[in-house]
Structure 1
Amino acid sequence: MRSWSARRLWLVCLLLVGASCARVPRPAVTRPQDALVALQDTAKLVDDGGVASLRVALGESLIWLRTRPVDHRFVYGPREVTAGELVAALERLRDRLTDGLSSQDVSTAVLAEFDLLESAGGEDGTVLFTGYYEPVLDGSMTRSEEYSIPVLSAPDDLIEVPLEPFAERFASEKVFGRLEGKRLVPYWNRSAIRGGKLGQRKLELAWVRDPVALFFMEVQGSGTLRLVDGTERRVGYAASNGRPYRSIGSLLIQEGAIPKEQMSMQALRAWLAANPTQRDRVLDHNESYVFFRFLPGAAVGSLGREVTPGRSIATDARLFPKGGLAFIQTDHPVKMADGSVQWKPLARFMFNQDTGGAIRGAGRVDVFWGRGPEAELAAGMMKQKGRLFFLVPKPRAVVAVP
């Protein structure tokens, strides 16, 4: 565990979470069953995606779930299921998802194996959907006058402390910091890191020319570097400094720089480009900083598995079952032939395969869209209300052995 002893880790965590490890019920994340009766009509769950992509996402969840102990329990609001039960149900669903199924057939196949539970949503009972994507940045493996902004790997003095072993109420919670003597203190914030606090440690994976593009790649969690020789290198999340995520969009709305109804990633980029003297101040408002690593293949989520465009979502890992099957109903932007943008319904089965610093509570979902202009459009503009459902395996009768 890096350079410090297990005893020192225990003492730090004891101070952070207290000595009590009593079982504390998790917050309910679903509505009562009796509120779901009218939702069992499969016509309300018609999937607008293709079977092939659904099978791909299902396969990634299965690979991860099979690494869990078979008796590991996943909480679905009022229900709990084991990893073994979830794997078995998904395997049966995979066998049902054959080529050529209609959208209605897909829904029928899902509801043959799963019951439906709806997210309780946020404080107002609604769910806010946003999007994220895989950006492409111009980069170089060597520093130059043009490429002078470093893409950093994780420093070796960054300490990650999972809190769940010390108190169940801190499930999926972590603390990040660094040692000052025998004390664990918060890690350096964005301003300090940008100012060169880590500059002598040779952490640079590559160099880019646009600090704003790098900032948004941090927000997305992964991206592709298009190098000067024409090749590409994918990078993904390695760690963060543990500082809380703070929205620069909210800051500029509060300051009156961008009206709330006009806020989008595209609007943020335009404002920062038009106000270069304000750039560092605004970016440093978000003290969170993401470190990267090179990826051997496609973008991966918090499960360490590849995320599937249009089939993977990020939710609050403290509340919703990792790798679980979900269904969403919301809207997404579509660019028309004449260049205009129209909002179209989005109704689709998804897999819970990622999380994020800004995705907190039962009322937040982030949809992964992949890469390219359409993905960037959806990620930049989506901030739509909608409904989130999780599908829990149906209880199966236990046959008594004579």
Structure 2
Amino acid sequence: MEYVILAVVIAVIAVGAVAGLVVSGRRRKELPPKAPAAPLPAKPKAAEPTPAEPQVGEEAAPPREAPVQTVEEVQLPATAETVEVEPEEAVEAPALEVPEPTAGRLVRLRSRLSRSQNSLGKGLLALLSRDRLDEDTWEEIEETLLVADVGVAPTQELVERLRTRVKVLGTRTPAELRALLHEELVTLIGTEAERSLKTAKHEDGRPAVVLVVGVNGVGKTTTSGKLGRVLVADGRKVVLGAADTFRAAAADQLQTWGERVGARTVRGPEGGDPASVAFDAVKEGIAEDADTVLIDTAGRLHTKTGLMDELGKVKRVVEKHGPVDEVLLVLDATTGQNGLVQARVFAEVVDITGIVLTKLDGTAKGGIVVAVQRELGVPVKLIGLGEGADDLAPFEPAAFVDALIGD
């Protein structure tokens, strides 16, 4: 019996061995043949040992010895006290311009009236110097005055006075004729009118308010800027009000004029209410203790009723702070009789206190000074004689006539 059990065990072991060989053979057939390993490249010999890149499992490796520095060897970061900071260069504010003094400015600008001299002053002298003053000559004198926009009534008045004076004078030397013509032209323009600008601060501390009005294209904003220079030259502290909100460049232009002489400009949004800007300008002038507030209004056609009514509104709103001291009407001397029509309409809307005649250097129509004064009963207070910053001058009748007649 024992032999039988031993034989069975041996048989089972033999069967298991044969099965294991078969399975192993099948697995060897299924697996692809293993590619031979490529030979490793020869490692170049380093001149000096370099630290190896960290490898997997290196955390468990024994720590390397790091160099230890003493407290004296440790370099501390620079502090604010040790850092040398270069001082920033101070940005210098642009130097303010110093306008020319107004006293005698018209005398310095007399050469700008050279074009008017040829037709009015020198033309009259040439005619009066003829040996025989017949009716044709007097008609030429009258025509010269009319072309110069003196006006019909003032022309007839001047011709009659010249006729009488020449007969009484008898001899007519050039010096005598010049003195005669000078005297009569000054009389025609008038010397009794008050031509000074009311720009001084009131006794109660309120600044004087000057309103500048006129049609489009007469150089109104430029004139406002030049007038600001005139006031600064006379020692006034000026605040400019850019109430022309309809023309995009008007406020920028006026502000540029102000910055050149140190005058502050109050402005509002484009297309905003002009009356609101004018009101704020006067309010700012009171707060800054200014001497004069100069308000540039929008140019408007004298034929547009709505725009003219708005100008009246601007004046009424400004008067909530106090009365307006000056309303200056800017006229283009080259427009002649059309300028008189404009003047009449503006005078109906606001009380004009003075006339500013611009572009008088490029015209032979210097007689407009006489005509506009006769039309409105308002004196010419300022004249523009060029495009320069200081080419706006207070009007002085005697100096003006001197420039017209020449030496």
TM class by shorter chain equals under 0.3
More strand by share: 1
Higher alpha-carbon Rg: 2
Normalised by the length of structure 1, the TM-score is: 0.25
Q: Which fold has the larger relative contact order, with Cα–Cα distance below 8 Å and residues 6 or more apart in sequence?
A: 1
Normalised by the length of structure 2, the TM-score is: 0.25
More helix by share: 2
